[in-house]
Amino acid sequence: MDEKSLMEEILGIRSKKDRGETLLFEDEAEKNPKSNEDKKKEEKDNLRKKKKKKGKEKEILKKEKEEKLFSLLQSYGSAAVALSGGVDSAVLLMAAVRTLGAKNVAAVTAVSELLPEGELEDAKRCASRAGVRLTLLPAKDLASSDVARNDERRCYYCKKRRFEMLALWAKEHGFGRVLDGTNADDAGDYRPGLAAIEELAPFVASPLKEARWTKPDIREAAKAWGVPVWSKPGAACLASRVEYGVELTGERLHAVEVAEDSLRRYIRGQLRVRCHGKLARIEIEPAEFDVFWRHREEMEDAVRSAGFTYVTLDLRGYRMGSQNEGLDMDS
């Protein structure tokens, strides 16, 4: 063995086997980047397939819900839609007209101190868009002591007397059903009024709920069908702003309506002015708290001018049905 070979062996220069292993390792290293790229590509392809599959499933479910709704409406022959001015009843009206034709559909709104003026104007716009005449029926809700005393069952009493009135009108005018805009998502809150609707079935029906239409389904259809209020935030009657046990009066309801209308100059999202006697509790989305603080004095003055003595901001922000939070649901 010459001096060079001996030195290589002493210094531990890799043997052919070692070199083979090293070369194999180097070959794998060269292959790995390519394998990683293939793996990433495969993951992207799988993700794309999953999204495509999910999209198809969503379209199938959407079609099934539409077919179910249109089938229900078709079975009624004719219908009077209780139009509130909100997106749910507006979509129901459009669906009824699309299915039954305008001559077989009526739009009816119960008018009382509980209905904000803005909601009435929106009801008129929605009826016009659907191509039907809007009939206004005086409800005189506050004439009912059951409604005016404003206990936890107020919504039940109000809905019962209103829909009995609508049902009587519909029967007198030859319509096969009265339609209510309750949807599949409405079961998540305390709503005793739903029990009143169910008691008047089958003549009073809630086809959106039966066809499992959710709020997103309704908004999507509303946008596609050109419903004027498709992006409008959810609303409720003015009575829902007043604390249980505080008597409903025209003066109190008017104060709430004026206060909310005044604050709409500043607040774009969900807004409620909750009435606790002389105190107004403002609920807005937390994202708009900074707007409140920037315009605190103007907003406070506006609410006080509407008739309230004290004004407070609810730090938990807007919650649907927050007046129900103190109720014992198990009793």
Tokens 């739903």 correspond to 194
Q: Are 170 and 106 in contact (CB under 8 A)?
A: yes
Under DSSP, is residue 219 helix (H, G, I), strand (E, B) or coil?
helix
- Residues recorded for the chain: 331
Q: Quick check: 279 pLDDT over 80?
A: yes
CA distance 317 to 286: 5
Q: Quick check: 108 pLDDT over 80?
A: yes
Closest CA to 112 of 248, 265, 273: 248
Q: Can you say how many angstroms the Cα of residue 259 is from the centroid of all Cα atoms in its chain?
A: 23
| Angle formed by the axes of helices 250-263 and 296-306, nearest 10° | 160
| Residue 11: pLDDT band with limits 50, 70, 90 | low
CA distance 190 to 213: 19
pLDDT at 246: 96
Domains of the chain, earliest start first: 63-224 (3.40.50.620), 249-322 (3.30.70)
Average pLDDT over residues 315-321: 91
Q: Are 209 and 184 in contact (CB under 8 A)?
A: yes
What is the chain's mean pLDDT, rounded? 89
CA distance 284 to 248: 23
Q: Quick check: 118 pLDDT over 60?
A: yes
Q: Give pLDDT tens digits for 29-40.
A: 455 555 677 777
Under DSSP, is residue 34 helix (H, G, I), strand (E, B) or coil?
helix
Average pLDDT over residues 182-201: 89
Residue type, 288: E
Q: What is the pTM of this model?
A: 0.81
